[in-house]
Amino acid sequence: MKLTESEKAQEYKTAQEKAPWNGKEINKLRETLFLEAMNLQRAFVENSSQMRDQLDAFSKMMRGNLSSTQLDKYAASLFQGFALAVPVISSTFASIGSFLRYVGREDIGLVLADESGQAMPQAAAGVIWRCRRVIAVGDPLQIEPVVTIHDKTIEFLKNYYKQSAFIASKTTSVQSLADAANNYIGIRELDGTNFYVGSPLLVHGRCQKRIFDIANIIAYNETMIYNNTVDREESVCAWLDVKGQSQNKHFVLEQAKRILPIIKNEFIASWNKNGKSEIPSLFIISPFRNVKAGLASYYRDNDFLYHNICESNDVECKQNIKDWIRDNIGTIHTFQGKEADTVIICLGVDSGEKENGAVEWACGRPNILNVAVTRAKNNLYIVGDADKWASKPYFSTAYELCEKYTNINFFNY
């Protein structure tokens, strides 16, 4: 029997939403087994007279109070004792060299490398050498590694060591290398170039449909499966066309002013929902550090928010606004892995010709817009000069899918 295109799409969706090795019954049994194993481990730790001495010796090792002879003989077993008491150990790649300096090759059973799409491969070399198995979890189409080495130096080293362009690329990450080494791979096309995908998780349940569609089109060739079980008809996906001259490189005051009523509405809605002054689930994200700094400074010193949200003597409310400004306004890198009910993307950039290079940089790959858009669960506002951004790669898709506004009269303020 030959399936229609619609039936093929449904089969694909069903296959991606299910895991043949999992189900409610077996998952419950797996959870029970895990809990019982942890209870057994805890009982051993609590009742072993030698565990206290083991952990004390581990502490001495970490402080550098053991001799080299003792380290050679006991380092691996001391770390195993620590792992018995603390089954899951969290660290950063930057700390591995000191934290695990006495741990030898393949002494660690399993490493889960989270957000590995933004990690340089060399940063993970030490921990990978020390483990028997590694699972890299990340997305090369979100935040990329930050590489400060000059392009000419990279090119020289690539030629000297006869490495491929893929290995030497600034955008190559732990995740992209793990994908290429995977036994089972897919191939995804981006801007006419094929690249490897390891074991993709294609079901997306965070964003509302139009927000999801932006990311799915610009970054994933429409291969993602929409699986948000709560569709909100009132959700917003809007582009606010705001022009202006930049101050302090990329920061546009007119855009900061246009965002004010959205912030006010979010604070008041959060207050009404929770019955008290609380910080709303709201991020303001920009591709540029100077825009982030300009927004934070403007809102911190602006009386509009304090006067329109707080009672004159409500100290807690005013402090909540200050805390929100400190924690919830940032660049793309600030919010990787996080989510909020509402996200405002403030693009900044002068409406003239002097900052065209900044626009071209932000539009060079889908990663920046993809990360920013997919932080939003329910509401997305993109604030920027449509004449500068709306025809550019990836941003043109966002502009097409968003409602367009040249003013802000649809807000109640």
Measured distance CA(377)–CA(382) in Å, rounded = 14
Where do the CATH 3.40.50.300 domains begin and end in the chain?
A: 209-405
The pLDDT assigned to 389 comes to 97
Is pTM beyond 0.75? Reply is yes
Residue pLDDT, tens place only, 107-146: 899 999 999 999 999 999 999 999 999 999 999 889 889 8
Is the Cβ–Cβ distance between 90 and 114 less than 8 Å?
no
Can you name the residues that pair with 238 across neighbouring β-strands? 381, 403
Residue pLDDT, tens place only, 328-365: 999 998 898 899 999 999 999 999 888 999 999 999 99
Return the closest-CA partner of residue 327 out of 338, 311, 314: 338
Give the position of tokens 């909540």. 320
Residue pLDDT, tens place only, 346-355: 999 999 888 9
The per-residue pLDDT string of the chain (413 residues; one tens digit each, 9 = 90 and over) reads 676 777 777 887 888 888 778 888 999 999 999 999 999 999 999 988 888 899 999 999 988 898 988 888 888 889 889 988 998 899 999 898 888 888 889 989 999 999 999 999 999 999 999 999 999 999 988 988 988 889 899 999 999 999 888 888 888 999 999 998 888 877 777 767 777 788 888 889 899 999 999 999 999 989 899 988 787 878 999 999 999 999 888 999 999 999 999 999 999 998 888 777 789 999 999 999 999 999 999 999 888 888 888 887 788 888 999 999 999 999 998 898 899 999 999 999 999 888 999 999 999 999 999 999 999 999 999 999 999 999 999 999 999 999 887 655 544 43
The pLDDT assigned to 406 comes to 64
Is the Cβ–Cβ distance between 138 and 116 less than 8 Å?
yes
Measured distance CA(22)–CA(12) in Å, rounded = 18
Give the position of tokens 């932006």. 214
Name all contacts of 326-330 with Cβ < 8 Å and 24+ positions apart.
Answer: 326/296, 327/279, 328/279, 328/282, 328/283, 328/284, 329/283, 329/284, 329/292, 329/295, 329/296, 329/299, 330/283, 330/284, 330/285, 330/286, 330/292
> What backbone phi and psi angles, to 5 degrees, belong to 47?
-110, 0
The pLDDT assigned to 412 comes to 42
The pLDDT assigned to 315 comes to 86
Tell me which fold the domain 209-405 belongs to: Rossmann fold (3.40.50)
Sign of torsion, CA 20 21 22 25? positive
